[in-house]
Amino acid sequence: MKTRDLTELAVRNLREAVLRNSLTTLGVAVGVASLVAMLSLGVGLQTLASQRLTRSGLFDAVFVTSQRDFRGARRPRSENSTPKKEARILDEDARQQLAKLANVTEVYPQVRFITEVRYGGKSPTTSVLGLPESSKGSGAFEGMTGSYFSSPTADEAILQVEFAKELTDQPATLVGKELVLRYAERAALSKESGGNGSFLEGMMGAAMPGGISIVPREKTLRIVGVIESDPSAGIGGFGGARVFLPLETAEHLHVAQPDDLQAFLSGDPAKPSYMALTVRVRSPKDVPQVEAAIKQLGFSTFSLLDATKGLRLVFMVFDSFLALFGSLALTVASLGIINTLVMAILERRREIGILKALGATDRDVRSLFFAEAGAMGLFGGIFGLALGWLIGRALNWGTTIYLHRQDLPGVRISYVPWWLALGAILFAIAVSLIAGLYPAARAARLNPVEALRYE
Partner 1 sequence: MPISPILIQAEAVSREYRLGETVIRAINEVSLAIRRGEFLALLGSSGSGKSTLLSLLAGLDRPTSGAIRVQDRNLSELDAEELARYRRETVGMVFQSFNLLPRMTLEENVELPLRLAEVDRNDREPRVSEALERVGLGPRRQHRPSELSGGEQQRGALARALVNRPTILFADEPTGNLDSVNGEQILLLMREFQNSLGMTIIMVTHERPLAEKFANRIAVLSDGRLVSEGEPT
Tell me the C-alpha to C-alpha distance, in Å, between residue 309 and each of 44, 69, 195.
18, 31, 57
Q: Which stretch binds partner 1 (CB under 8 A): 5-13, 53-61, 318-326, 373-381?
A: 5-13
Q: Which of 97, 230, 452, 454 binds partner 1 (CB under 8 A)?
A: 452
Let me know: does 90 contact 64? Beta carbons within 8 Å: yes
Under rule CB under 8 A, residue 354 binds partner 1: yes
Q: Does 1 bind partner 1 (CB under 8 A)?
A: yes
∠ at Cα 12 (8, 18), nearest 5°? 145
Smallest distance, Å, CB 336 to partner 1? 22
Q: What is the 3-state secondary structure (H, E, C) of 181-238?
A: EEEEEEEEECCCCCHHHHHHHHHHCCCCCCEEEEEEEEEEEEEEEEECCCCCCCCCCC
Euclidean distance between CA atoms 104 and 91, whole angstroms? 17
Complex with partner 1: residue 3 or 82, whichever CB lies closer: 3
- Binds partner 1 by CB under 8 A, chosen from 361, 398, 402, 422: 361
Asked if residue 358 binds partner 1 (CB under 8 A), the reply is: yes
9 binds partner 1 (CB under 8 A): yes
User: Quick check: 13 binds partner 1 (CB under 8 A)?
Assistant: yes
For residue 421, what are the CA distances in angstroms to 101, 330, 416, 429?
A: 38, 15, 7, 13
User: How does DSSP classify residue 94?
Assistant: H
Q: Minimal distance in Å, beta carbon 364 to partner 1?
A: 7
Residues of this chain, 109-138, that bind partner 1 according to CB under 8 A: none
By beta-carbon proximity to partner 1, the closer residue of 1 and 223 is 1
Question: What whole-number distance in Å separates Cα of residue 266 and Cα of residue 225?
Answer: 39
Sign of the CA dihedral 278, 282, 285, 289?
Answer: negative
Question: Which CB sits closer to partner 1, 268 or 364?
Answer: 364
Interacting residue with partner 1 among 232, 399, 448, 454 (CB under 8 A)? 448
Residue with Cβ nearer partner 1 (337 or 368): 368
Residue among 13 and 249 whose Cβ is closer to partner 1:
13
Q: Does 16 bind partner 1 (CB under 8 A)?
A: yes
Under the binding rule (CB under 8 A), the answer on residue 12 touching partner 1 is yes
Stretch that binds partner 1, among 75-83, 125-133, 354-362, 385-393 (CB under 8 A): 354-362
For partner 1, the closer of residues 191 and 350 by Cβ is 350
Q: Which amino acid is at 229?
A: S
x/- mask, partner 1, residues 323-352, rule CB under 8 A, reads ---------------------------xx-
> Does 2 interact with partner 1 (rule: CB under 8 A)?
yes
CA–CA dist 441, 424 (Å, integer): 26
Q: Single out the segment in contact with partner 1 by CB under 8 A; choices: 210-218, 284-292, 303-311, 357-365.
A: 357-365
Task: Tell me if 242 sits within 8 A of 161, measured CB to CB.
Answer: no
Q: Residue 10 CA to chain centroid, in angstroms? A: 47
The type of residue at 358 is: L
User: According to CB under 8 A, which one of 76, 359, 407, 418 is a site residue for partner 1?
Assistant: 359
- Using the minimum distance from each CB to partner 1, give the nearer residue, 166 or 362: 362
Alpha-carbon distance 434 to 5, whole Å?
22
Indicate the length of the chain as a whole number.
455
If binding is defined by CB under 8 A, does position 362 make contact with partner 1?
yes
Residues in a beta bridge with 177 = none
295 or 442: whose CB is closer to partner 1? 442
How far apart, in whole angstroms, are the C-alpha atoms of residue 283 and residue 262?
32
- Residue 356 as a binder of partner 1 (CB under 8 A): the answer is yes
- Least separation in angstroms between residue 347's CB and partner 1 is 11
Q: Which residues contact 28 (CB under 8 A, 6 or more apart)?
A: 330, 333, 334, 336, 337, 376, 377, 379, 380, 381, 384, 428, 431, 432
Residue 357 is a binding residue for partner 1 (CB under 8 A): yes
CB of 28 to partner 1, least distance (A): 23
Should residue 203 be labelled a site residue for partner 1 when binding is judged by CB under 8 A? no
Return d(Cα 182, Cα 176) in angstroms, integer. 19
**Which residue from 441, 372, 445, 382 is spatially nearest to 33, judged by alpha carbons?**
382
Confirm or reject binding of residue 5 to partner 1 (CB under 8 A).
yes
Rounded CA-CA distance 105/286 in Å is 11
Size of the site for partner 1 (CB under 8 A): 25
Phi, psi (5° rounding) for residue 210?
-160, -150
Binding site for partner 1 (CB under 8 A): 1-2, 5, 9, 12-13, 16, 350-351, 353-364, 447-449, 452
